[in-house]
Structure 1
Amino acid sequence: MTTRHPRLRTTLAVTAAAAVLAAGGAVTATRAFAAPESSPQSASSPGQTPGAVYANQELPATGLPAAAASGQRYSYWTTGVDERVHLAVATMLEPEGKAPAGGWPVVVNAPAGYGLADRCNASVSPAAADRDTVTRLLRRGFAVITPDYGGVGATASPEYIDHSVTARNVVDAVLAGVVVDGSVAPRWAVLGDTQGAAAAIELARKATDWQDGDLDFRGAAATSIPAGLDDLISGLGPNSPAVSEAVTADVVYALASLDAEDVNPILSKSGKQLVAKAKTQCAPDLRKSVRGTALGDLVTKPVSSDSKLAASLRKSLGISRSGYSRPLLLSQTLQDDSIQLHEALRFLADAQLASNRVQSRSYLTGDAADGVRQEQTAVLNFLDDLF
């Protein structure tokens, strides 16, 4: 994959005081949010250390969830799959009420991927951020960080389909977030859904190694486990069967995240058209676009015909079933078409057998809404127990 140099295309209010900040440096009193027309991407430049704040902006009270007392959007440096630093964006919300001694505990909300285009980012789209989940966390007394996925301004970012890189981005968002907001505690956990679930699972393995000594990672909760996506995409071929619209859309997003020179030789005409749409359409629209499309319709020859590409996809999309260093809740409802359900349930069983740090939950109800309610209760109780 070739190196990308993403541009931040949306320019917000910037003042001279919103200069690049060195890692661990103080945030400027102006609370400006840095959005340069073009940002340097060299890891050797001063201040461009993963986890360092670039700048931040106070969010207007009118746009906050009902349970939020205040919020900030901030840009920070993080490392992409190209091993270069890029600007990324996250939001930090504080709950209403008086902070406990030591500050608000932090839960990172790692939502399902919502698309590759800028307008599909969680920082600008309440739907992408899963505002209902954010509100529940705030009402439980957690400060909530919601990171965007991938580099700022990138129309197709490989970070979208690399779970380990996404997990590192989350750690960097927390490192920057505790600098931006002095009212939060260094104690943190993560709640991830679908793509966010894969990152949460990786954090249960690696966050204690990646965080610095000032942070205290407590554990991870993961819902809608995207297990088996690595085999599905690396094994994609003309005879691949139809799957749900949501899973098909995720496959198309993954293909759209790859360099054109790698993926175009295997795409069919309809595959190329859908990949082009994936670069501009958010998830609800892309799911409509792929309706009636079998996976085999996307390609003219197997992904495995390019052994290097297939191996890269297996590595970036694989989810480890063991090696967890912190408590992990794996939660899966039984009426979930956003993932491959049989693969998710197999993953839950394998991971629980492999580690005594894992709690797995599925919900024996034929009512989808009741399953969701049971899951929400289980997740919130698990997070409470971590702190």
Structure 2
Amino acid sequence: MTAQPRRIPAAPDHTPSRRSVFTSRPVKTVGAAVVAAGLVGGVCVTQAFADPAPSTDEAPRGGQTAGTVFANRPVADGDLAAGAANGQQYSFWTQGSDGRTHLTTAVVLTPKGKKPASGWPVIAYAHDADGISSKCGPTKSKVARDTDMVSDLLRNDYAVIVPDYSVVGTAGSPQYVDYSAAAQGVADAVRAGLDVEPALSSKWAAVGDEQGAAVAVDLARSASSSESPKLDFRGATATTLPVGYADVVTGLSPQSAKVSPSTVTDVVYTLASLPSDEVESLLSERGRELVAKAGDECAPALSKAIGSSNVADLVRVPISSKRSLVTDLRKQLALPSSGFSRPLMLSQKLVDDDTDVPTNLQYVTTAQLASNKVTAKTYLTGDARDADRQEKSALTDFLKKLF
């Protein structure tokens, strides 16, 4: 049954205290507030917040079941991304890495043209995360790249779901700190999206970039085993893979080697997402300053504040001194290279300032040798624009074969 539009109230003016993202105790959540939508680049999405009830061992029930819709409303015609015929904003329940159910948000856009008899095939776009504040949802920043990708998919006759990672804007961390939790959130967004938009097919695939690429990789291994009967997951593509990111974070020390500016930004957000009592003693004065800024600033502003600082400037002692923290981070940021149940395209350009190209090429090769589900794509050109063109063409062709 299609969920009916529901009035979206304003959010209460309070800031919840930060909680650990590594707790495994399930907690039932009750009550929620959804704040007004934010618009960037033609895609609009609501931000949702959930307040936890006291701990309980009971599984989430009723409307708090993962993959169910809390509220939805149409996207105004003037706010649609290029290539979209219509869209719906919606908030839905998903379970985070902390074992709690949270409200998070997404937008579903349908393409122009005649709908296929079986409905529009769905692409879930797993974007790179952009901050831990409520103002840093997927449609409020990274305008040019994200909007171009969404519009390209719409023009290729796919419905597109753009989910936010749960916990953005609430106590805890955005779920890109835990790839498996983020992947489950994307699957929940698709499940809820089918209730919001009846024109969708049950067939869906994921397209992931940067931190979102790790989410797509995890989906290719796990989505088919956990999805409901009404969903038919076909496969995923992953570009600008964050290979080695777990090593950067867990190996963080005053002697850490220099990394790309975008990686420094991600590391600051990761530190800001961790339990303060675990991290505070590790941070340098500069690290404490930037971690404090990360709670309020989205990636462009935080990157500007970081300036020329490198990861080595963030800590005064190695993060390895906290063994339990390192263990949790390695588990949550692991990038699997085998065990895939659905087709997966791993793409790596030879010119990529955001990754360690040799390390990524080794990962892509290892994964292809380990699984017949993996298609590795590299592009023998040193021209960045030509590599982008070839990668886009490869992605388009691969997706066509999935449906």
What letter corresponds to residue 157 of structure 1 in structure 2?
A: S
Matched, 1:368 2:384: yes
Structure 1 equivalent of residue 77 of structure 2:
61
Deviations 1:164-214 (A, max 9, x none): 000000110011001110000000000000111001000000000111111
Of 284, 294, 303, the match for 2:319:
303
> Is the contact between residue 114 and residue 128 of structure 1 (CA under 8 Å) also seen in structure 2?
no
Distance 2:243 2:49 in 1: 38
Cα 1:126/1:268, change in 2 over 3 Å: closer
Distance 1:379 1:371 in 2: 12
Structure 2 equivalent of residue 11 of structure 1:
35
1:1-387 to structure 2, matched below 5 A, reads 1=20, 11-12=35-36, 39=51, 43-125=59-141, 127=143, 130-151=146-167, 153-154=169-170, 156-387=172-403
> Is the contact between residue 230 and residue 314 of structure 1 (CA under 8 Å) also seen in structure 2?
yes
Deviations 1:124-152 (A, max 9, x none): 44629811000000000000000001225
Secondary structure in structure 2 of the residue aligned to 1:246: helix
> Is the contact between residue 90 and residue 123 of structure 1 (CA under 8 Å) also seen in structure 2?
no
Deviations 1:38-96 (A, max 9, x none): 65567545321000111101011111112000011101000011111000101000000
Distance 1:66 1:154 in 2: 31
Distance 1:225 1:126 in 2: 18
> Is the contact between residue 50 and residue 77 of structure 1 (CA under 8 Å) also seen in structure 2?
yes
Cα 1:205/1:37, change in 2 over 3 Å: closer
What letter corresponds to residue 180 of structure 2 in structure 1?
A: S
Distance 2:181 2:95 in 1: 7
What letter corresponds to residue 297 of structure 1 in structure 2?
A: D
TM superposition shift of 1:118: 1.4
Secondary structure in structure 1 of the residue aligned to 2:237: strand
> Is the contact between residue 46 and residue 105 of structure 2 (CA under 8 Å) also seen in structure 1?
no
Cα 1:274/1:9, change in 2 over 3 Å: farther
Secondary structure in structure 2 of the residue aligned to 1:262: helix
Structure 2 equivalent of residue 25 of structure 1:
none
Secondary structure in structure 2 of the residue aligned to 1:47: helix
What letter corresponds to residue 64 of structure 1 in structure 2?
A: L
Higher mean C-alpha deviation, range 57-66 or range 156-165: 156-165
> Is the contact between residue 267 and residue 301 of structure 1 (CA under 8 Å) also seen in structure 2?
yes
5+ long unaligned stretches in structure 1: 14-32
Secondary structure in structure 2 of the residue aligned to 1:238: coil
Deviation above 6 Å: which 4+ runs of structure 1? 2-9, 33-37
Higher mean C-alpha deviation, range 116-125 or range 344-353: 116-125
Cα 1:132/1:159, change in 2 over 3 Å: same
Distance 2:267 2:114 in 1: 44
> Is the contact between residue 89 and residue 152 of structure 1 (CA under 8 Å) also seen in structure 2?
no
Cα 1:129/1:60, change in 2 over 3 Å: farther
Deviations 1:83-123 (A, max 9, x none): 11000101000000111110000000111111111111014
TM superposition shift of 1:34: 8.8
Cα 1:146/1:236, change in 2 over 3 Å: same
Cα 1:93/1:278, change in 2 over 3 Å: same
Cα 1:126/1:292, change in 2 over 3 Å: closer
Q: What is the RMSD of the two structures over their aligned residues, measured on CA atoms?
A: 2.3
Distance 1:289 1:6 in 2: 37
Distance 2:82 2:290 in 1: 37
Cα 1:129/1:71, change in 2 over 3 Å: farther
> Is the contact between residue 132 and residue 168 of structure 2 (CA under 8 Å) also seen in structure 1?
no
Greater share of strand: 2
Distance 2:46 2:71 in 1: 5
Distance 1:285 1:166 in 2: 24
Higher mean C-alpha deviation, range 138-147 or range 226-235: 226-235
What letter corresponds to residue 180 of structure 1 in structure 2?
A: V
Secondary structure in structure 2 of the residue aligned to 1:107: strand
